[in-house]
Amino acid sequence: MHPLITPEALADALSARPAAVVLDVRWRLGGPPGRQDYEVSHVPGAVYVDLDTELSAPPGVEGRHPLPDPERLQEVLRRAGVREGGQVVAYDAADGSVAARVWWLLRWAGFGEVAVLDGGFAAWQAAGLPVSAEVPAPEVGDVVVRAGQMPVLDADGAAGLAREGVLLDARAPQRYLGETEPVDPRAGHIPGALNAPSAGHVGADGRWLGAAELAERFAAIGVPGDAAGGEVAVGAYCGSGVTASSVVLALEVAGITSAQRPAALYAGSWSNWCALDREVATG
């Protein structure tokens, strides 16, 4: 399954039997809760899943959004109706970065048929497709979480990759440069990391750039184009491991990595790096 799906293709998938499971993961850093938007209107049949409490473990030294306990994740996905052999589509309200966390988590859990709605809920509405305020009660699914199917970095691994491969920082340039830090206790970036802001994956219309445009963007940042062949190791991080998931997705769309050789994710990201009091670079 391609990592991105258009609103029209999702509408077709919802009319198929069995229908795709749709997960609404709208979320804002600092709130208000995305569930409020979901209760007003959402893609018909979509199930709301909370990033903070259902797709992450409690915050701590491991970061602000540590990877969830596999049994807990399996419970959440089954309650949403996810079944073995089915399809899942996730959407958010912004540039797809939060939905990409779901895409990455399901791939990490060994579930391959998952995609992000290109353009999110705004694109669904712009296409004139129906919305609903009805909260569904899906039949409980039978998905089995087989954790560990995507490469994950810890702080040492991230530091090593920044020296010996390519480590991409998905945060805004001001945070990467150390000019400001609105969330974490220290400003700056992991020494040797390159800045690849997640907001740059989408165009002015909120839709993802095409493969060629993404490849050009990554080449300009300094990412070699042959990571899919195993010639260079690539990884990504952000503030807490959420928006970095969209870098992993974008690298795959660009053809720089592949489903067989995906980029690694530093799941703890900057929040974990700061908690461990690791070396910081600025500028």
- Active site (catalytic) residues: 238
Alpha carbon distance 64, 269 (integer Å): 9
Backbone angles phi, psi at 82, to 5 degrees: -70, 130
**DSSP secondary structure string for all residues of 81-119:** T--TT--EEEE-SSSSHHHHHHHHHHHHTT---EEEETT
Instruction: Say how many residues make up the chain.
Output: 283
* Token digits of residue 153: 């970095």
Q: Per DSSP, what are the bridge partners of residue 208?
A: 202
C-alpha–C-alpha distance, residues 137 and 38, integer Å: 15
Structure tokens at 170: 């998905």
